[in-house]
Amino acid sequence: MSNRYGFNTLALHAGAGVDETNSRGVPLHRTSSYVFKSTTHAADLFALREPGNIYTRMMNPTQGVLEERMAALEGGGGALALASGTAAVFYSVINICGRGDEVVSANNLYGGTYTMFDSILPELGINASLESPLDPANLERAINEHTRMLFTEVIGNPVLDVANIGALSEIAHRYHIPLVVDSTFTTPYLFRPLEHGADVVIHSLTKWLGGHGTGIGGIVVDGGNFDWTDPKFRLFNEPDPSYHGLRYAHDLGELNPLAFITRMRLVPLRNLGACISPDNAWIFLQGIETLPLRMQRHCDNAMGVARYLSDHPAVKWVRYPGLEKDPAHEMASRQFENGFGGMVVFGINGDRTAGEKFIDGLDLISHLANVGDAKTLAIHPASTTHSQLTEDQQLQGGITPDLIRMSVGIESIEDIQGDLAQALDKTK
């Protein structure tokens, strides 16, 4: 598939040929394993002398189409689909860092990633410094001789600040470490981090890429340009005894530029096992076909909701990168195409119970802990996702008691605004 096709065309066609059955839809290959043609064939597959399918934990043809499509949409060299966005983040870290290596990361992260970096990775001997990315110099100051990667999300939690990916990539490359970016909230329709100097892009497919709230999955896209031959990247330069003494940065032949994603398949995925199911890979392909249409409507509706809330007397404050007065607007406008995403956060006048009354008053809008569904979703983090924290800890994380997080869907905008209007009325 020519990468010169436009984005809309790639979303529909990239990675998918027509096989001997002439099926137009991408076939769903529900199989755990694949028959070898001969003992020689089997031995060649296992020794990586010949590419091919062995076992679905490592690869599956339906998953392969998803990987090629996402690599094409991001402008990357290759991709690996996994069981969840969380697994995609974890495997990206442990594919680079071993005991004693360190991560420098933005601190305004998705909750699960924050916990992984703050308490799980240190148990494995991988420390993470979590810094405010509002000034990229904060992250630069945290880099030391043990640092092996820089990590950020494009749109942060909870108030939707936007990272300067170009500035962060310059810093990372000055210290010869890769910039790894979780781009879930933007999708490649709004922003392609590789074009701004990132080296690895991660998505939770669960959100806007799948787009219908029907499956959990994640993906890692390798830009294919980072040089892993620096000996400080131990995992890529020392012979791997579990793989015939292979040195991933040197011995992969024409796959050497894709050493990162190849190692992720051969080591973390093969041996730790967070593979995507073929069914979920198929569901995400179905979602991606309409990503440009849905994402445009998400952006248009979110802008409509942000403007509506800004003018509403019961609303104290609104954050949306698309609003001209928003602190993130300049950075977002400089980097994004087509719009500013589907997330809006806001505060309601009154105390914490005003937020609870608002949520309980919603009718059309669903109260749940997800984002990126085609349907509009809302949650009050102080009483749910972040309720285990003390009020002080909540405030430190920017979770004010009045904060409502909305993932704006693709319904008729009048109906979303109508539901907001009647629920806001109940907060008085």
Ligand X SMILES: *Cc1c(COP(=O)(O)O)cnc(C)c1O
Residue 216 interacts with ligand X (CB under 6 A): yes or no: yes
| Total number of residues that touch ligand X (CB under 6 A) | 16
By CB under 6 A, name the one of 67, 68, 161, 182 that touches ligand X.
Answer: 182
Question: What 3-state class would DSSP assign to 228?
Answer: coil
Q: Which residues pair with 152 in a beta bridge?
A: 181
Q: How far is the CB of 61 from ligand X (least distance, A)?
A: 22
Q: How far is the CB of 49 from ligand X (least distance, A)?
A: 35
CB proximity list for 273: less than 8 A, separation 6 or greater: 57
d(CA 235, CA 52): 24
By CB under 6 A, name the one of 108, 206, 301, 376 that touches ligand X.
Answer: 206
Judged by CB under 6 A, which stretch of 57-65, 180-188, 340-348, 404-412 contacts ligand X? 180-188
By beta-carbon proximity to ligand X, the closer residue of 141 and 367 is 367
Near ligand X in 104-163, by CB under 6 A: 110, 112-113, 153
By beta-carbon proximity to ligand X, the closer residue of 151 and 308 is 151
The rounded Cα 316 to chain-centroid distance in angstroms is 30
HSE of 381 in the Cβ direction (CA atoms, 13 Å)?
Answer: 28
By beta-carbon proximity to ligand X, the closer residue of 60 and 84 is 84
By beta-carbon proximity to ligand X, the closer residue of 216 and 285 is 216
Q: How far is the CB of 211 from ligand X (least distance, A)?
A: 13
Judged by CB under 6 A, which stretch of 52-60, 201-209, 322-330, 345-353 contacts ligand X? 201-209
DSSP assignment, residue 196? Answer: G
Question: What 3-state class would DSSP assign to 130?
Answer: strand
H or E element that contains 222: strand 218-222
By beta-carbon proximity to ligand X, the closer residue of 357 and 405 is 405
Q: How many CB atoms lie within 10 A of CB 30?
A: 12
Q: How far is the CB of 154 from ligand X (least distance, A)?
A: 9
Buried b (16+ CB within 10 A) or exposed e, 160-174: bbbbbbbbbbebbbe
Q: Which residue is nearest to ligand X (CB)?
A: 85
By beta-carbon proximity to ligand X, the closer residue of 16 and 205 is 205
Q: Are strands 179-182 and 403-407 parallel, antiparallel or unpaired?
A: unpaired
Q: What is the DSSP string of 51-76?
A: ----BTTT--HHHHHHHHHHHHHHT-
Residue 218 interacts with ligand X (CB under 6 A): yes or no: yes
By beta-carbon proximity to ligand X, the closer residue of 335 and 427 is 335
Interacting residues toward ligand X by CB under 6 A: 84-86, 110, 112-113, 153, 182, 184-185, 204, 206-207, 216, 218, 371
